[in-house]
Amino acid sequence: MTRPDLSPTDRSTIKRGKNRAMTDRSALHDVLDAGLVCHLGVVVDGSPLVLPTGYGRDGDTLYLHGSTGARSLRAAADGVDVCVNVTVLDGVVYARSVFHHSMNYRSAVVHGRATLVTDDDEKLHGLRVLTEHLAPGSWGHARLPNRKELAATAVLALDLTEAAVKVRTGGPVDDEEDIGTVPAWAGVLPVRQVFGEPEPCHLQPEGTPVPGHVRRRAG
Amino acid sequence: MTRPDLSPTDRSTIKRGKNRAMTDRSALHDVLDAGLVCHLGVVVDGSPLVLPTGYGRDGDTLYLHGSTGARSLRAAADGVDVCVNVTVLDGVVYARSVFHHSMNYRSAVVHGRATLVTDDDEKLHGLRVLTEHLAPGSWGHARLPNRKELAATAVLALDLTEAAVKVRTGGPVDDEEDIGTVPAWAGVLPVRQVFGEPEPCHLQPEGTPVPGHVRRRAG
């Protein structure tokens, strides 16, 4: 399925730092696939509410989920506008001037109206996508949701039609007159998220092997 | 200065997972000090907009900044409600059931009306706080902002009165009947953000030593 490139609307068009805007859909997919937590924004009683939540992507659908009682999910399921942001931090940029200090990052913003997934098959599919994003391999390994658990979980689907991606890479962009004259160190301190050594639950027999899908992730 | 504990209003009172809510102000400070990027939510034309931005904390004031032209900053400076979220991800929680998969995290939500800092001395102070949060040691090392740069930067101050903190730690919380019967591995895969090897700007003489404030951070 071919989808159009990004930024068809005013609010999803990047106004500042246009040179950092990416317009191909694969850039959006890459950022969403690289993050682990998204920030979901909704308007509640006229005020913004921003909360972190898990997500997963299948094609051009973003799935979100949470307890059926969660305030942000309830608001988002009401057919109102939502905004989802996924940001991956890649580095701290040290410039010769304080003013040009910056960050390297990849950031995706998605606008739209989320729909509450009510069909059980699609709900299971959404949960599978969400689970495999958070913990790849767990869907075929852990116990799958039963009827009661399925009922207690709200799954939202958000179409990726209206989205924008902004990426900053590379070293500091200093003022010409500061280069060679200001003695401050300039460069990038890379930042990345890493997985540590798996910590087994104490309720399982000691020496239970860590399965491949967890072990591989720990690196 | 003694400030009251958290959660004085309805919207900043945690409704779900009350057992994960922290009510002491030091927990709020800890989360804000541990994060590097915040997510700023504002309402623009009735829709939520969530964008990542840098921040810094001084006491019970959160400073945000950005270009004077940035849409989210402009909206936030308009005396409207904003919501700032800082989330630090600490681990992926593998449970025996897909349903109980979770994340370990520390998350702070701040509600309020940001004020545009107009006094030059306070603006400089805010920028110092912001810079020292992003790049500790840079304020005394890099060239400080000049008059033109100061004018091109918007600094917002947000009071930390109305805030909530939610923290999840520890292993999976599985259903009793799954323990010992479901063969899935259960435990936590720790997640943390690390700094890599500094990458010097190619415009400075080769062999320029990496200063202590950068070197120490890389570990």
ipTM: 0.92
Q: Which domain holds residue B43?
A: 18-191
Indicate the helix (H) or strand (E) that contains A189: strand A187-195
Least confident of A29-33, A125-129, B14-18: B14-18
- A137 in a domain, yes or no? yes
- A182 in a domain, yes or no? yes
The pLDDT value recorded for residue A1 is: 45
* Domain CATH number, residue A184: 2.30.110.10
Number of domains in chain B: 1
Q: Measuring CA to CA, which residue among A43, A20, A42, A31 is closest to residue A160?
A: A31
A contacts of B56 (beta carbons < 8 Å):
none
- B8 in a domain, yes or no? no
Of A40, A172, A198, which is closest to B201 when you measure between CB atoms?
Answer: A172
pLDDT at A155 over 80: yes
- B10 in a domain, yes or no? no
The pLDDT value recorded for residue B10 is: 72
Average pLDDT of the residues in B37-47: 94
- B206 in a domain, yes or no? no
Of B180, B191, B198, which is closest to A189 when you measure between CB atoms?
Answer: B198
Residue B79, judged by CB atoms within 10 A of its CB (0-12, 13-18, 19+), counts as exposed
- B176 in a domain, yes or no? yes
B contacts of A196 (beta carbons < 8 Å):
189-192
Of A39, A71, A143, which is closest to B184 when you measure between CB atoms?
Answer: A143
B188 conformational bin, left if phi > 0, alpha if psi -120 to 50, beta if neither: beta
Alpha-carbon distance of B180 to B175, in angstroms, equals: 11
Residue B66, CA distances (Å) to B55, B71, B150 in order: 10, 10, 11
Q: Do the Cβ atoms of A194 and B192 come closer than 8 Å?
A: yes
Indicate the helix (H) or strand (E) that contains B47: strand B47-58
Q: Whose structure tokens read 């989205």?
A: A163
φ, ψ for residue B116, nearest 5 deg: -75, 125
The pLDDT value recorded for residue A75 is: 76
How confident is the model over A74-130, as pLDDT tens digits?
A: 777 777 899 999 999 999 999 999 999 999 999 999 999 999 999 999 999 999 999
pLDDT at B113 over 80: yes
- B36 in a domain, yes or no? yes
pLDDT at B192 over 90: yes
B16 vs A193, more confident: A193
- A113 in a domain, yes or no? yes
The pLDDT value recorded for residue A74 is: 74
